[in-house]
Amino acid sequence: MDIVLKYFDAFTPQQLEQLKALEGLYREWNEKINVISRKDIAGLYEKHVLHSLSIAAVFSFTAGTQIADLGAGGGFPGIPLAIFFPEVEFLLVDSIGKKLKVADGIAAAIGLKNISTRHSRIEEVKDRQFDFVVSRAVAPLKNLWQWSRPLIKKDNTPHTTNLIEQGVHAPGLICLKGGDLAQEISESGTRPHLLAISDLFTEPFFEEKYMVYVPK
């Protein structure tokens, strides 16, 4: 928990309680349904919560923003982001229902009202449009963009460099990835903005980890 507070300090008492509760809840759920590797559970706040919140360090989502978490698993990055942005609506989508059971259980336990889940493949979601799709290392960028693009709203607002620097971004795909992404980006046919997460957080874990943003 301290590692999160090292970088973020504008939490309400409710948000702090929600964040503090995550470790115990994930440990409890992980005994029933394995959504986090045993070696990673001790590093939950660094490897999962803070990693997820790297998006919040760059993007300022306004109230009413609609976000889909593609391949949400047990709730990353969706749950930490939903805690951080309580006025933003999140739909967590995963094709494995038992993982969403964990996300549902944790959201209910900490009183998160801005999360819903759907047991589905993302390409089968036909009834909604989103401002952003977020994802964490679930597929190559080419696939993520192919699946996400039809779900992302069109935006005709000009977004200047100044606005981007202020965290105001056009609708698009935001994914967290690691390693050498040159070939993956080339094969995707996209021209993404790439940010090294090590520029945000200094811990060794974040070396060679990146945030990839593809505006629509």
Look at the domain 2-215 and name its fold.
Rossmann fold (3.40.50)
Q: Amino acid identity of 182?
A: A
DSSP string, 35-57: -S-HHHHTTHIIIIIIHHHTTTT
Per-residue pLDDT tens for 193-215?
999 999 999 999 999 999 999 99
List Cβ neighbours of 142 (8 Å cut-off, separation of 6 or more). Answer: 184, 187, 188, 189
* 135-187: pLDDT as tens digits: 997 799 999 999 999 999 987 555 444 444 555 588 999 999 999 999 999 99
Q: How do residues 178-192 score in pLDDT, each as one tens digit?
A: 999 999 999 999 999
> Where do the domains of the chain lie?
2-215
Name every residue whose Cβ is closer than 8 Å to that of residue 157 and which is 6 or more positions away in sequence.
170
Strand 89-94 relative to strand 115-119, pairing? parallel
The binding site consists of: 71, 76, 122-123, 136
Strand partners, 69: 92, 134
Binding residues for S-adenosyl-L-methionine: 71, 76, 122-123, 136
pTM over 0.85: yes
User: Encoding tokens for residue 34?
Assistant: 């394995």
Q: d(Cα 81, Cα 122) in Å, to the nearest integer?
A: 19
Alpha helices (runs of H) in 33-176, residue ranges in sequence order? 38-41, 44, 51-53, 78-84, 97-110, 141-148, 161-165
- How many CA atoms are closer than 13 Å to the CA of 107, on its beta-carbon side? 26
